[in-house]
Amino acid sequence: MSGTVLAIISDSHVGSSTAISPLEFIVHNRSEDEAQVTHANKLQRWLYECWTDYWEHVFKLAKKKRLTVLFRGLFPSPL
């Protein structure tokens, strides 16, 4: 293994209508009576396409290299 690829991600907006999300997912699934299938909106479908393109590119770059992923969380950094 030679070299490292650093993939940096942030601002995933989890739980928001502007979040990266699967194209179809179930919410409120504590019981079958509460489960409802939700589909990604237009923006989320575009983000999903960008997300999968990004990871395909990262994995191509990281072939036979160490892959390090940095998730920059929700809180601002002092840097």
> Domain spans of the chain?
4-72
The answer to whether the pTM exceeds 0.85 is no
* Helices then strands, each counted (H, E), the chain: 1, 4
Q: 51-54 — which CB contacts under 8 Å span 24+ positions?
A: 51/20, 54/7
pLDDT of residue 32: 78
CA dist 56 to 21, 46, 60, 63, 73, Å? 17, 16, 6, 11, 22
Give the pLDDT confidence of 32-60 residue by residue, as tens digits.
Answer: 788 888 899 999 999 999 999 999 999 99
pLDDT of residue 16: 84
